[in-house]
Structure 1
């Protein structure tokens, strides 16, 4: 592909050559031919495909918003000729990142490190690496892709917070026979049997129906249960930064509970997003999910509380919303008695409007959070309330 300079040189050379021959000016014709030969030489220079091997690493692959992440590209000249005039561009999302490449002799290896943008949450594609070969005069260039694409996961920022105590133990199922589980364990879900499971928990009816050995998964309902409702409505947040702060606040709350191996129930505008039982890598799963959460165009948050009307009871309910539109917050009154405690987090740089009639009462604390620092201070006070 000719550069703008190359196209101008080609057109000028053609005009000079034609005019020189037509009008009898050999000097102009010779200059025109020289221009055309220079363009042809540039095309020939960039035509061969460089014999290179490219390998990219992203470290770390998962970061919090605003935290540093690097791309590391290793280029190896696998050919028998020295490579000059190479430029490289890697792409992170829709942002091109220039990489300087020195002269590469046969067998030589060059490693380039560059910072990746992490200001926005999401699963961001990185690559493929594009090598641009340019002739010494800058008349022609040829771009080729090397290596494969990779992925950078930018998750919400997290602050270390205490877990809200939720002070009651609820055993709503109750033992049904002398083989029932003791203590505060209750049925949570069915899953496939794995080696080491207690055979007393085999659910024979589901096993017969599916042909796969199924067992009952139990959870300890005496553990502090944290239910978080995240309002993702665009109208609830005056700015994009306010919404990002709301996601960061939600991530900090659920991350604290999950790291303590306590159950977490994350709910969005339309209903449940993720339910964890306090085992495994629940904290990682929650952060990965919140990396993908975006603003919605729903007008009311009321639907988020529909499923909570059937909540088993107990635990803490935290509602994270903005300081803008509060349509649907009155639905909190439908579920407030099903939880031991409730907190409303109003996130944003502007003061929130007064609570709507029928919404959270004076016994439900409302914390106005304008930054993660304010969240840390306000949440620690809430934890000891």
Structure 2
């Protein structure tokens, strides 16, 4: 509860009138001061009453690409059967406050309001709660309360179509690396039998030993696996727009991998990783990505725990010394550098570009991985 400018002036006037009236015996001033106090008490009691409101919020869609439209629909109802409500409401939408017309909401009535979500920037837009401000008729006091829950809208980076996909890699018996477009099946692990498994995959020796049917789980070892490492260090991006371009490149790689049904791993240099059966899980991480301060621990992890055949490193820092140590762990190493510098390193495919669209063109222009 807070005093408005008018309420603060009336409160000061009440103090002066009562002080002067009581000190010098002016009864008329005392009456006026008492009337001011009564007005303030009435205002406090009026705004303290809590209206019974129901708030339903819907967001459609809640996940969009940057620049696409998303709409919030608010339905606010007055659950009271006797009293109407004169209210002023604002809904929080990211950093903005959106006015919602709720003046003179009658008993049992409801109103619906819609407004667009700003999607011009990548990120997660927090929506709600609805902030309802109740004022007294004299405009002396105001009290704000929150109603309803909250929602979020994930604004994904723009996606640029990539047509080229690296081939898979498998090792031959004579030690050579063969690049193949299709997979080869190899044993991975054993698991318990479930209804629907083929009997020819049952491992009878292990089944006899443990007393339960165990089947062989097989894995395609030569499918191309993409590993994307996104540099999210603040010092790597003098211009924040370069980080947005790097996120667009990562999103484009994710969508290309899922389109061609290829395994992909996504990691941020700060340590966060994306995992899940759908592209949405990866794009959520990219929408939530922000600058962080760290030492690059993920590079050490990728060196000891190889997670793919082709590593794509996206950064705004032209210094690739640290990531160049991964050349022995990954047969193919691609560095997307967003900026003016054009570094060149042996055994690293360097794509020096300015934005996500240039990255897509440069990626498709690579003749051989």
TM class by shorter-chain length? 0.7 to 0.9
Secondary structure at the residue paired with 2:365?
helix
Asked if residue 290 in structure 1 is aligned to residue 286 in structure 2, the reply is yes
For 1:260 and 1:220, the matched residues in 2 are separated by: 15
> 1:252 deviation in Å?
0.9
For 2:140 and 2:223, the matched residues in 1 are separated by: 70
Cα distance per residue 1:292-324 (max 9 Å; x no partner): 33334334574254136x567xx4332212135
> 1:143 deviation in Å?
2.2
> 1:29 deviation in Å?
3.3
> Alpha carbons of 1:151 and 1:270: their partners in 2 closer, same or farther (altered >3 Å)?
closer
Cα distance per residue 1:99-127 (max 9 Å; x no partner): 23232122222111123344555555432
Asked if residue 158 in structure 1 is aligned to residue 155 in structure 2, the reply is no
Aligned equivalent of 1:266: 266
Secondary structure at the residue paired with 1:127?
strand
Listed as ranges, the matches of 1:1-385 within 5 Å are 1-5=1-5, 6-81=7-82, 83-92=84-93, 95-118=96-119, 121-166=122-167, 168=169, 184-187=184-187, 195-198=195-198, 200-201=200-201, 217-269=217-269, 273-274=273-274, 281-300=277-296, 302-303=299-300, 305-307=302-304, 310=306, 315-336=309-330, 338-339=331-332, 342-348=333-339, 351-352=340-341, 354-355=343-344, 360-361=345-346, 364-382=348-366
TM-score (norm 1): 0.77
Matched length: 358
> Alpha carbons of 1:245 and 1:211: their partners in 2 closer, same or farther (altered >3 Å)?
farther
Determine if contact 1:91/1:97 at 8 Å carries over to the other structure.
Answer: yes
> 1:346 deviation in Å?
0.6
For 2:211 and 2:13, the matched residues in 1 are separated by: 78
Determine if contact 1:237/1:325 at 8 Å carries over to the other structure.
Answer: no
> Alpha carbons of 1:77 and 1:343: their partners in 2 closer, same or farther (altered >3 Å)?
same
Determine if contact 2:164/2:363 at 8 Å carries over to the other structure.
Answer: no
Secondary structure at the residue paired with 1:382?
coil
For 1:209 and 1:153, the matched residues in 2 are separated by: 51
Structure 2 residues without counterparts, runs of 5 or longer? 174-182
Determine if contact 1:267/1:274 at 8 Å carries over to the other structure.
Answer: yes
The 10-residue stretch of structure 1 (282-291 or 91-100) with the greater mean CA deviation from structure 2: 91-100
> Alpha carbons of 1:52 and 1:269: their partners in 2 closer, same or farther (altered >3 Å)?
closer
